[in-house]
Amino acid sequence: MAKLNDAGIKALRSRLDTASVLTPSSDGYQESLTRWSDTGIKPAGVVVQPVDPADISIALLWAQEHDIEVAVKGGGHSTAGTSSSDGGLVIDLSYMTQVTIDLPSKTITAQGGATWKEVDEAGAAHGLATVGGTVNHTGVGGLTLGGGYGWLSGQYGLTIDNLLSARVVLADGTLVTASKSDHPELFWGLRGAGYNFGVVVDFTYQAYDQAEMVFSGVLGFTPDKLEHVFEQLNTSLANPDSRSGAMCFLTHAPDGSGPVIVVICFYNGSREEGLARFAGLINLGPAINALDTMPYSMVNTLQNPQATYGDRKSFKGIFYEPPMDLSFVRTVFEDFMAKVQSDSDLMKSAIILEFMDMRKICEIPSSETALASRNTTQNGIICLRWTDETKDKEHRAWARQIQAKWKTELDAKTKGRKTEVPQYINYAEPGDSVVSNIYGENLERLQTVKATYDPKNVFHKMHPLSTAST
């Protein structure tokens, strides 16, 4: 990658009439580097904040002309810094956040810089919702392009299963619309490996009638009830309900009182239906019971008090084949808490495990979209959070050790399968040797799409695809 110089920056500014162009000496430059995790912050050589596709096209062509690395920033949630560039160009979509509703077709169109908060609230104003992220300040772009699980996945599948079209600025600067009828191979690739092909300027999703009020909230349990909690969560998967889901957090109480098991429950229905669905958990006598009816647009805010900006973070994807082994999860819990209690800087860390109805997701063949991980395997994340930069290597190595234990457990349970279980791209950090199988049997087809739409490998920041020429 070449180094930027004043002449190159001047040439870029001369071509852009409406976009903001920020360099290290510009007002607003430092603010533009902010990411959800401090580990994702890198000092860009130049930041372009476009207002329309033409700005993006100009920036992409300029970067290739000057041999400058390109990164694209939507929500900026990557802990590995894939939305940042050390010395290169960042196309920051912060000004492209508009969300529009088409009531006759029940569709929602969101620009590439929008977050799920904007989508949830725009849909709710018209009694509509689509499948979106479970943390509402996550960007629509990253979650969609990797697949997208949400509380409505049991009913409607993944976010990509509800994506109708996307407008994309390609590496050669052209703007195309990808759908099942237009650029169908690109549309196929965008749904599961979409970071590799261009800059998506807007997404159009199928939306659904959504009652304003749902049943959801938080339950908190003391560590002695761990096995009982997981027995109930296992039972929920054995008796699935498409309107229901749960997420379990193995973490430390925010007030410092000690380890805790937190369960976020969701039921897309009435209070009575929700109470019946989660009766087993409620009857365990949780120390905290904050279940209640609430607007659907509030459900994706429940993690916000913990999923705040700042500090250093690492995500490591973990995956398990239900039912969860109770002795295994007890060992993981105790080991994790012992480490966290030995280093108070890790106190905000957690292991997060999902319990979702996968039937709708698995109805669609793995070959229909680029996402290869359509199976009964459930997803989870080791989410470490700390402040001491000198501990980066140590903490990441420890996270890999935990991740490897989950991988061994998964392999033992799935050893009868013909091939290794592909794992969810959005929960796998780039370069992670423990989670290496991302694209599965779709890899060869994806490489062909890559060679067609990005032969120079301009877009290579997130689980890059190789081509014959790269």
DSSP per position, 114-128 = -BHHHHHHHHHTTTE
Q: What is the full DSSP assignment across 27-39?
A: TTHHHHT--SSGG
Distance separating alpha carbons of residues 192 and 163, to the nearest angstrom: 11
Summarised one tens digit per residue, pLDDT across range 190-224 is 999 999 999 999 999 999 999 999 999 999 999 99
Task: Tell me what pLDDT residue 433 has.
Answer: 66
Stretch 135-139: mean pLDDT: 97
Residue 117 in tokens? 């908060």
In this predicted structure, the answer to whether residue 345 has a pLDDT above a threshold of 90 is: yes
Helices within 278-432 (DSSP H only): 279-282, 296-299, 326-342, 359-362, 392-413
Q: Give the CATH number of domain 99-209.
A: 3.30.465.10
CB-based contact 294:217 (threshold 8 Å): yes
Stretch 330-352: mean pLDDT: 97
CB-based contact 98:177 (threshold 8 Å): no
In this predicted structure, the answer to whether residue 154 has a pLDDT above a threshold of 80 is: yes
Task: Tell me what pLDDT residue 431 has.
Answer: 72
Task: Tell me what pLDDT residue 256 has.
Answer: 83
Distance separating alpha carbons of residues 209 and 361, to the nearest angstrom: 20
Task: Tell me what pLDDT residue 255 has.
Answer: 84
In this predicted structure, the answer to whether residue 274 has a pLDDT above a threshold of 90 is: yes
Q: How confident is the model at residue 419 (pLDDT cuts 50, 70, 90)?
A: low
Q: How confident is the model at residue 2 (pLDDT cuts 50, 70, 90)?
A: confident
For 154, the 3-state DSSP assignment is helix
- Contacts of residue 375, defined as CB under 8 A and 6 or more positions apart, other chains included, come to 358, 362, 421, 422
In this predicted structure, the answer to whether residue 258 has a pLDDT above a threshold of 70 is: yes
Lowest mean pLDDT segment, chosen from 124-138, 259-273, 420-434: 420-434
For 100, the 3-state DSSP assignment is strand
The residue ranges of every structural domain in the chain are: 6-94, 99-209, 213-427
Question: How many of the other CB atoms lie within 10 Å of CB of 307?
Answer: 20
Summarised one tens digit per residue, pLDDT across range 232-249 is 999 999 999 999 999 999
CB-based contact 167:96 (threshold 8 Å): no
- Contacts of residue 279, defined as CB under 8 A and 6 or more positions apart, other chains included, come to none
Q: How confident is the model at residue 432 (pLDDT cuts 50, 70, 90)?
A: confident
pLDDT exceeding 70 applies to what percent of the chain? 98
In this predicted structure, the answer to whether residue 451 has a pLDDT above a threshold of 90 is: yes
| Fold of the domain spanning 6-94 | 3.30.43
CB-based contact 379:354 (threshold 8 Å): yes
Q: Model-level pTM?
A: 0.96
Q: Which string of b and e fits 51-85 if b means at least 16 CB within 10 Å?
A: eebbbbbbbbebbbebebbbbbbbbbbbbbbbbbb
Distance separating alpha carbons of residues 373 and 439, to the nearest angstrom: 8
Task: Tell me what pLDDT residue 88 has.
Answer: 97
Distance separating alpha carbons of residues 228 and 157, to the nearest angstrom: 29
Task: Tell me what pLDDT residue 240 has.
Answer: 97
Task: Tell me what pLDDT residue 349 has.
Answer: 98
Token pair 């990005």 is found at 454
Residue 256's region, left for phi above 0, alpha for psi from -120 to 50, else beta, is left
In this predicted structure, the answer to whether residue 416 has a pLDDT above a threshold of 80 is: no
Q: How confident is the model at residue 418 (pLDDT cuts 50, 70, 90)?
A: low
**Same topology between domain 99-209 and domain 213-427:** no
Helix, strand and coil percent figures for the chain, each rounded to 5: 35, 25, 40
Summarised one tens digit per residue, pLDDT across range 56-96 is 999 999 999 999 999 999 999 999 999 999 999 999 999 99
Distance separating alpha carbons of residues 287 and 221, to the nearest angstrom: 5
Stretch 382-392: mean pLDDT: 97
Stretch 27-49: mean pLDDT: 97
Beta pairing, strands 163-169 & 312-320: unpaired
CATH 3.40.462.20 assigned to domain 213-427? The reply is yes
In this predicted structure, the answer to whether residue 470 has a pLDDT above a threshold of 70 is: no
The values of phi and psi at residue 54, to 5°, are -60, -40
**What sign results for the dihedral spanned by CA atoms 271, 274, 276, 281?**
negative
**Average pLDDT, whole number, for the chain?**
95
